[in-house]
A and B are shown apart, each in its own frame.
Chain A
Amino acid sequence: MADDGFISLDGVEKVFEVRRRAGLLRRERHEVRAVDGISFRVARGEMVGYIGPNGAGKSTTIKMLTGILTPSGGRLRVAGIDPSRERTRLAHRIGVVFGQRTTLWWDLPLRDSYRLMHRMYRIPDRRYRENLDRCVELLDLGELLEVPVRQLSLGQRMRGDIAAALLHDPEVLYLDEPTIGLDVISKAKVRQFLKELNAERGTTVLLTTHDLTDIEQLCSRVMVIDHGRLMYDGSLAGLHEVGESERMLVVDLERELPPIVLQSADGGDQPALRAVKVEGPRQWLAFPAAASAAPLVARIAADYPLVDLSVREPDIEAVIARMYESAP
């Protein structure tokens, strides 16, 4: 099991059968391939972002990793355990936070939910107290312990949920949209905590999110999934190349002019840049991220009354959006 990966998936599939009404009484069966042959490895202590549009198969993957869904095909192991076969044994070693759901007892103080975790995971008393103290300190829960969960704000509840998932020292933590709906400060708190958790305890973290800032700040590696398939697996920086990303040159001219047209320097058919937007004297010009901006600027300055300019680095969100669109 040495470096086979702490989490390993080989051609994992999940096919749902959906029945659709096709007339008064007749129903048509058809298959939905939520996860369509995904393979990847995650090493112990890695922090990986798992992103994709709605319905891409992210949550389905997470559910298979926790064992609450059985794969229709392929091989899946977490810490050497087949999740769907030994769900309960695995449960002691993993922590799960579903951003849109809560494990906490709605009507009771936060502390009661933690007491429950204490018993459920059979955490030794001392460890429980240490872990609770640590979570309370780092997640700023001190004043919330005696407050019924229903009275907590979303950010407070989320921090409460994260603590609940960590009291039994899980080796791996799955976070399904942990920052959804949180304000900027709460997001920052959650991210900081996760960063420290990973650094100090070496907890493996698999994070699904729609907020790319989460990924940028936490994960060195990102996996993009769409239509149940892995579209990209690598560093965040590498995404730009794969996504044929573009940089944006924003120029302010002296007066309103028609969109700037520049032919390619080597005389080819491809224009060197294309005008994306024109607003009065300001123009947004996109060009390939790999191309150098300097010669373009020089040529524009030579031909047009240039007042000011700025270059914007490619927006990771735009890159991913383009990736989703280009998917079959």
Chain B
Amino acid sequence: MRLYAVVAAGGFRRYATYRTATVAGVFTNTVFGFIVAYTYIALWDERPQLGGYDTSQALTYVWLGQALLAAGARMGGGFESELVERIRTGDIAVDLYRPADLQLWWMAADLGRATFHLLGRGVAPMILGALAFDLALPGSFWTWPAFLLSVFLGIVVSFAVRYLVAMSAFWLLDGAGAMRMAMLAGLFFSGMLLPLNLFPGLLGEVARALPWSSLLQVPADVFLGKHAGWGLVEAYAFQAGWAVVLLGAGRLLQTGATRRVVVQGG
């Protein structure tokens, strides 16, 4: 386990190296936060209590979305492009002969990255958002750890999805298309554009049941205190369930891939 701790620490420090990129990221997240916040204000002014949120809850949702965007690697920027590239060039050979598990290795690295992005790219926009707008911050202290656990589970789900996508490169030989599709799906189905609670009928049902809702919709609802008691347990179970299923699928693909490794190049 110490190995994966070192890998995670490395993942954290790798991203911490690029300070300018972090500052630029915070800037972008904040600007977008403002734009979306004003759009939401207009929308909620017209339709109060839309999706069961009042205006300040809706604004909180906006800023949570910005704060968690980088951590969940919903706009890319996670490990997957690197892994896909390693598969494409054949560098994956180096990873395969190591006495380490491929999936755990990349998960550790990605959790390290996500931790950095949560702190480096999440905290500042959230604070700026809270200063500029009237946000619905948790009333109870215990909401914070509950929220963080949900964020953690969401990041694991996000990793699991992206790992699946990356593994597809073993068959597709170029994972760029699959990555782009997954990113678009992730942006919409995580609830980044609009909270999934707003979508009516079947679309809403499906969107809320898909794994991507673990990335933003679920943690945001935990933050806003929408899940309490058994509801909270259910929310966790939903996220953990997807995590287990998707990680398992990733492991299956990994076994299949390593068995038929067409290590390209060299």
Residues of A in contact with B (beta carbons under 8 Å apart): 16, 59, 63, 66-70, 87-89, 91-92, 94, 96, 98, 100-103, 105, 107-108, 112, 115-116, 118-121, 148, 176
Residue in B10, B97, B98 with the greatest tally of chain A CB atoms within 10 Å: B97
Which residues of B lie under 8 Å from residue A89 when comparing CB positions? 99
| Chain A contacts for B100, CB-based, 8 A | 120
Q: Which residues of B contact A59 (CB under 8 A)?
A: 266
Residue of B nearest to A103 (CB): B94
Please measure, in the bound complex, the distance between the C-alpha atom of A176 and the C-alpha atom of B263, giving whole angstroms: 15
Contact A67 B93 (CB under 8 A): no
Q: Give the chain B neighbours of A105 by CB distance below 8 A.
A: 10, 14
Chain B interface residues toward A at CB < 8 A:
2-3, 5-7, 10, 13-14, 17-18, 89-91, 93-94, 96-100, 258-259, 261-263, 266
Q: Which residues of A contact B14 (CB under 8 A)?
A: 105, 107-108
Q: Which of B10, B89, B96, B98 has the most A CB atoms < 10 Å from its CB? A: B98
How many angstroms from the CA of A70 to the CA of B3 in the assembled complex? 27
Shortest Cβ distance from residue A180 to the other chain B in the assembled complex, whole angstroms: 12
Tell me how far the C-beta of A166 lies from the nearest C-beta in chain B, rounded to whole angstroms: 15
Tell me if A's interface is mostly helix, strand, loop or mixed.
mixed
Across the interface, which residues of A come within 8 angstroms of B89, CB to CB? 101
Contact call B93/A91, Cβ cutoff below 8 A = no
11 further A-B pairs in the complex, CB-CB below 8 A; given A87-B97, A98-B266: A63-B266, A92-B99, A98-B94, A100-B266, A101-B91, A101-B94, A103-B98, A108-B13, A119-B3, A119-B5, A120-B98
Most chain B beta carbons < 10 A, residue from A92, A103, A107: A107
Which of B6, B99, B258 has the most CB atoms of chain A within a 10 A radius of its CB? Answer: B99
Contact B6 A115 (CB under 8 A): yes
Q: Which residues of A contact B13 (CB under 8 A)?
A: 108, 112
Contacts of A112 in B (CB 8 A): 10, 13
Q: How far is the CA of A68 from the CA of B258 in the complex (A)?
A: 8
Q: Is the CB of A67 within 8 A of B97?
A: yes
Closest to B7 in A: A116
User: What residues of chain B lie closer than 8 Å to A148, measured between beta carbons?
Assistant: 17
Residues of B contacting A87 with CB < 8 Å?
A: 96-97
In the bound complex, residues from chain B placing their C-beta under 8 Å from that of A69 are 261, 263
How far is B262's CA from A260's CA once the two chains are assembled, in angstroms? 54
Give me 6 A-to-B residue pairs in the complex whose CB atoms sit less than 8 angstroms apart, sorted by A's number: A67-B97, A94-B97, A96-B94, A101-B89, A115-B6, A121-B99
Q: Output the least CB separation between B71 and chain A (Å).
A: 19
A116 x B6 contact (CB < 8 A) = yes
Residues of chain B within 8 A of A98, CB atoms compared: 93-94, 266
